[in-house]
Structures are given as structure tokens and as C-alpha cells.
């Protein structure tokens, strides 16, 4: 690069650089330096980008390696960046140092370490084979003390390890509590399985550590009790239990916007009109959050308004894609397979103003690989594109006040049906195919015909409202 920075990245050293006016830029305006890292194929590496002048953003690219990170999830709110990857067979990975916002400048340090026996990809804490202090049974607990005589991690924290036997599919709730130090908890197991947690993500237990995991295989696991900061000591309690249905699922710390460092234009999206809300290329990997059945997940946010029709399309040739979109009203839209095989498409009319979350995951637990996610305004599925007036809310509204003298009339009920239709039209969400039936119109045959009219035009994801008074 033109400014100081870039070139050969040295493992174990502080590689200094500077983002500034002489550097190359991404298409979105951020300055970049490119570093080449050469290492041992199959070894796990941790790369950290530290900067005090700008919000650091780090990317790794190589054969089978595609990792991006904005903020270090273990950094407690700081703006440094950390990511982890396994060196591919080529023995070479390209690291791109850049900023989260266009035009940011300043000095930085790029640190790369080989993890040896590895670092936990979920939490960034070294996870060597800590000697077993004792056994931990599911449904039980142990007490202990971190002290100068305890085993030490490479980064200086004291640690006690406990052997736990589990079965594939067990969903465990692990908790490490202490009033004398900031607890940090991780678990390792068969098939290089690792997971870690610093603070209880439910926000209910302060700096104590809580970890919800689904075990991937039968066998022996090592649960390690340690501290967030090197050298901390004190007493602790470690407990293991089967997780209940209300146990929280961890969420990944992912940047809200994704930046692709090459010049490839996004492919055209089917049935899309208007600006794209989300256009993300990413990868499901062992460093991501894990759902209760073992699926990895990434989440992205976008803002939309009530009545907007959007299409979310998740494409992957590496895994069976599953897309879920959740809104501020707790309404959730899910899809496993779209019309083109194992890719996923969600087409929905949104019911509230606010922030929505698109979750990228897989149909089966443990699936990994690259994906492309887009969320954009939509004209609907082929069935919905010809709906008169645009696909929003379809209603059949029935009100009977006049019972023809056979029994007492009911005041206001017919008026209620009319007023509901008027209110929905004022809000701009009522499709013209909707039907209002009052008094003598509200026969069995009339209601049946209204249902048939709506059914002929409404799509599978439209909102249907039946009102009877």
C-alpha cells in the first residue's frame, strides 16, 4: 500500500501500519492495507487488528477461508477486531486491514498468533488440554478455587478443568459463578468441539458466566473454569444441568453491514423492486453462534415499515439454507427451501415499523460454508404479482345488526364491520379484494363466496383477517 502498512505479516510480532490517503480503497470508500500471511497448513491462527484512531475491521481470504470481523466479541465494547481461521493447504492467507466507516485514518497494529492446540473460536480464549481437576456430572456442581497452584493458560489465566461425559444432542446449561473474580467458562470435546462464554448473555447474572451448548457427539468433554483477566484468583462454583426450553440462544457479534472486498456486482434478485436492504456475503463456521439443535447462525439487521413487502433470499451451494426474519412485533417468517431447491426464500408483508433481524442458518446441525443473503422490496411470488392493489391484508368482515324481526336486533355490529374496513383502508394496508358483508348480505352463501374471492387472489404469506360481529 502507499502508506506504511501491508506486505508480509510476521507471526508473533506487532505488524504496524497506517491507513491514510495513499492507500487503496474499497468500493465503499474505506482505506485498506493488504498483508500476506504464510503458515502451517491445518494450524489455527488468531489475527487481531488494534487501533485507537478508527473502528477496526479485519478480513481474511484464502482457499476455503472467508472471515470478516468488525468488533472483537470478547473485547467488552471496544472497537478492535479479532478473527480466527485454519490455514488452508496452500499455506497462505491474505489479511485485509480496513475501517468500519469510509474515510477513517490512523495507526494500527496487526497481531497474528498460531494457536497450537487451539483457541476457542467462539470466545477467543486459549483452550489447551487443561489437566482434569475432577469430574462434573450433568445435574451436579463442584466448588473450587483458582490460585497460584492451578494450571495456567498460555495467556496467563489460572484454570481448573473438569471431565464431563455427555451424549450427542444433549443441551447443557453450564454456569460458573464467583464473587472474587470475573469468571470465564469454556468447554472442549470430540471433533475439535469448543464453545466459550464470558458473561451471562441473558443479562440476569452480572459478570458470572453462563454457557448453553448442544453436544455434537457421545463422549468425554472438558469443562474449564477460568477468569477473564490473567492472574485473577478466588473461589468459584461450577454447575451443569440440562437446559430448559427458555434457555437463551447466544447471538453472534456481527457487523450490521457487510463489505465485499472485490468488484463483483450482486446477482439480480428475482421479483425485486427498489433499493436492496441487505446484501451480505458470509460464511457459517465453527466461530458462529450455535442454535439449540447445533446449527450455526449469523444475524443481520435492517429497518422497514409496516405494510412493506420484502423478499429475503438465502443462497448457498455448501449447505441446505434456512432463513428466518423476525420483526419488532415478534412476528417471525421462516423458510427452509425456496422454489429453486435447497436455497431459501422468505416473501412477507411486514406488520410493524422498526428494526428486523434476518438470521442465516442451515437445516441440519453443524453445516458450514459460504452463503449470499439479500433482502429487498418485492412484488411477491409469481402467484402474488397479479394481486389487485398490491398484496397486503385480505379481510372478510361480517356484521349483522338487523335480524329481520325473528329476534332482537343488535346495535352497532354492522357498523363495526364497516368501520373496521374504513380504518384499514385509511392505514393503506387493506387489499381491494377484501369483502364487507352486512345484514342481509351476510348469508352462508355470501360468506362462502367472499372466502373464495379472497382465496383466489391472496398469496401464501399474506395476512388474512376474518371479522364477525
**pLDDT, tens digit, 9 for 90 and up, residues 53-71:** 788 889 898 887 877 766 5
* pLDDT exceeds cutoff 80 at 428: no
Cell numbers for 255: 457487523
Q: How confident is the model at residue 396 (pLDDT cuts 50, 70, 90)?
A: very high
Q: What are phi and psi of 451, to 5 degrees?
A: -60, -45
* pLDDT exceeds cutoff 90 at 236: yes
Domain's final residue, options 377, 403, 419: 377
Q: Which domain holds residue 357?
A: 278-377
Short-list 178, 146, 182, 180, CA closest to 161: 146
In a domain, 258, yes or no: no
Residue 188, judged by CB atoms within 10 A of its CB (0-12, 13-18, 19+), counts as buried
In a domain, 183, yes or no: yes
Q: How many domains does the chain have?
A: 4
**Burial code of 292-308, b = ≥16 C-beta within 10 A, e = fewer?**
bebbbbbbbebebebbb
Q: What is the mean pLDDT of the chain?
A: 75
Q: What is the DSSP string of 56-91?
A: EEEEEEETTEEEEESS-TTSTT---EEEEEE--TTS
* pLDDT exceeds cutoff 50 at 125: no
Alpha-carbon distance of 393 to 91, in angstroms, equals 56
In a domain, 255, yes or no: no
What's the whole-number mean pLDDT along residues 246-271? 35
Q: What is the CA radius of gyration of the chain?
A: 28
Domain's final residue, options 313, 342, 377: 377
In a domain, 294, yes or no: yes
Same domain, 235 and 166: yes
Residues forming beta bridges with residue 314, ordered by sequence position: 344, 373
Domain's final residue, options 216, 242, 268: 242
What's the whole-number mean pLDDT along residues 357-373? 88
In a domain, 1, yes or no: no
Which of 15-24, 86-95, 191-200 is predicted least confidently?
A: 191-200
Same domain, 358 and 397: no
What's the whole-number mean pLDDT along residues 433-453? 84
**Cα atoms in the 13 Å half-sphere on the side-chain side of 304:** 31
What is the H or E stretch that residue 282 is in?
strand 278-284
* pLDDT exceeds cutoff 70 at 460: no
Q: Residue length, the chain?
A: 469
Same domain, 409 and 362: no
What is the H or E stretch that residue 448 is in?
helix 444-457
* pLDDT exceeds cutoff 60 at 29: yes
CATH code, domain with 339:
2.60.120.380
pLDDT of residue 200: 47
pLDDT of residue 262: 33
Same domain, 108 and 142: no
Within 8 A by CB and 6+ apart from 21, the residues are 2, 3, 31, 105
pLDDT of residue 163: 92
Higher pLDDT, 407 or 63: 63
* pLDDT exceeds cutoff 60 at 170: yes
Short-list 294, 260, 261, CA closest to 280: 260
Q: How confident is the model at residue 142 (pLDDT cuts 50, 70, 90)?
A: very high
Same domain, 107 and 164: no
pLDDT of residue 249: 41
Helix (H, G, I), strand (E, B) or coil at 439: helix
* pLDDT exceeds cutoff 80 at 354: yes
Same domain, 225 and 137: yes
pTM, two decimal places: 0.34
Alpha-carbon distance of 116 to 113, in angstroms, equals 9
Query: Cβ(323)–Cβ(344) under 8 Å?
Result: yes
The CA-atom distances, in angstroms, between 216 and each of 262, 283, 294 are: 36, 20, 7
pLDDT of residue 306: 77
In a domain, 214, yes or no: yes
Same domain, 86 and 110: yes
Other C-beta atoms closer than 10 Å to the C-beta of 364 total 12
Which of 34-43, 89-98, 205-214 is predicted least confidently?
A: 205-214
Most confident segment among 167-171, 180-184, 209-213, 328-332? 180-184
In a domain, 286, yes or no: yes
In a domain, 151, yes or no: yes
Amino acid at each position: 500500500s502507499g502508506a506504511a502498512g501491508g506486505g508480509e505479516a510476521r507471526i508473533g510480532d506487532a505488524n504496524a501500519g497506517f491507513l491514510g490517503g495513499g492507500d487503496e480503497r474499497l468500493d465503499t470508500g474505506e482505506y485498506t492495507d493488504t498483508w500476506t500471511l504464510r503458515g502451517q497448513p491445518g494450524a489455527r491462527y488468531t489475527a487481531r487488528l488494534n487501533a485507537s484512531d478508527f473502528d477496526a475491521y479485519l478480513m481474511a481470504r484464502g482457499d476455503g477461508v472467508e472471515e470478516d470481523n468488525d468488533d472483537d466479541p470478547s473485547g467488552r465494547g471496544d472497537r478492535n477486531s479479532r478473527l480466527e481461521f485454519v490455514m488452508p493447504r496452500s499455506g497462505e492467507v491474505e489479511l485485509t486491514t480496513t475501517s468500519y466507516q469510509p474515510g477513517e485514518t490512523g495507526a494500527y497494529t496487526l497481531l497474528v498468533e498460531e494457536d497450537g492446540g487451539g483457541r476457542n473460536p467462539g470466545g477467543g480464549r486459549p483452550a489447551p488440554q487443561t489437566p482434569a481437576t475432577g469430574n462434573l456430572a450433568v445435574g451436579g456442581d463442584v466448588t473450587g478455587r483458582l490460585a497460584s497452584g492451578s494450571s495456567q493458560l498460555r495467556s496467563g489465566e489460572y484454570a481448573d478443568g473438569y471431565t464431563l461425559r455427555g451424549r450427542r444432542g444433549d443441551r447443557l446449561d453450564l454456569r460458573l459463578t464467583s464473587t472474587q473474580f470475573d469468571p470465564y467458562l469454556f468447554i472442549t470435546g470430540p471433533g475439535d468441539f469448543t464453545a466459550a462464554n464470558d458473561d451471562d448473555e441473558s443479562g440476569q447474572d452480572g459478570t458470572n458466566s453462563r454457557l448453553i451448548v448442544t453436544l455434537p457427539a457421545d463422549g468425554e468433554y472438558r469443562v474449564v473454569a477460568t477468569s477473564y483477566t490473567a492472574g485473577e484468583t478466588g473461589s468459584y462454583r461450577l454447575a451443569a444441568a440440562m437446559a430448559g426450553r427458555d434457555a437463551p440462544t447466544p447471538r453472534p457479534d456481527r457487523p450490521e453491514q457487510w463489505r465485499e472486498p472485490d468488484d463483483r456486482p450482486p446477482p439480480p434478485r428475482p421479483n425485486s423492486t427498489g433499493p436492496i436492504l441487505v446484501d451480505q456475503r458470509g460464511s457459517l463456521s465453527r466461530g458462529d453462534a450455535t442454535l439449540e439443535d447445533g446449527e450455526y447462525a449469523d444475524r443481520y439487521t435492517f429497518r422497514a415499515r409496516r405494510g412493506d413487502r420484502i423478499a429475503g433470499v438465502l443462497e448457498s451451494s455448501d449447505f441446505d439454507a434456512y432463513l428466518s426474519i423476525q420483526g419488532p412485533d415478534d412476528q417471525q417468517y421462516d423458510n427452509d427451501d425456496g422454489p429453486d431447491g435447497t436455497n431459501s426464500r422468505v416473501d412477507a408483508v411486514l406488520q410493524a415499523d422498526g428494526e428486523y433481524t434476518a438470521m442465516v442458518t442451515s437445516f441440519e446441525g453443524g453445516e458450514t460454508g459460504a452463503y449470499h443473503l439479500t433482502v429487498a422490496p418485492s412484488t411477491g411470488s409469481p402467484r402474488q404479482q397479479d394481486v389487485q392493489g398490491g398484496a397486503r391484508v385480505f379481510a372478510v368482515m361480517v356484521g349483522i345488526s338487523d335480524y329481520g324481526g325473528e329476534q332482537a336486533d343488535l346495535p352497532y355490529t354492522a357498523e363495526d364491520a364497516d368501520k373496521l374496513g374504513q380504518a384499514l383502508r385509511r392505514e393503506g394496508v387493506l387489499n381491494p379484494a377484501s369483502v364487507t358483508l352486512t345484514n342481509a348480505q351476510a348469508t352462508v352463501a355470501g360468506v362462502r363466496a367472499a372466502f373464495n374471492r379472497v382465496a383466489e387472489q391472496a398469496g401464501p404469506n399474506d395476512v388474512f383477517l376474518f371479522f364477525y360481529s
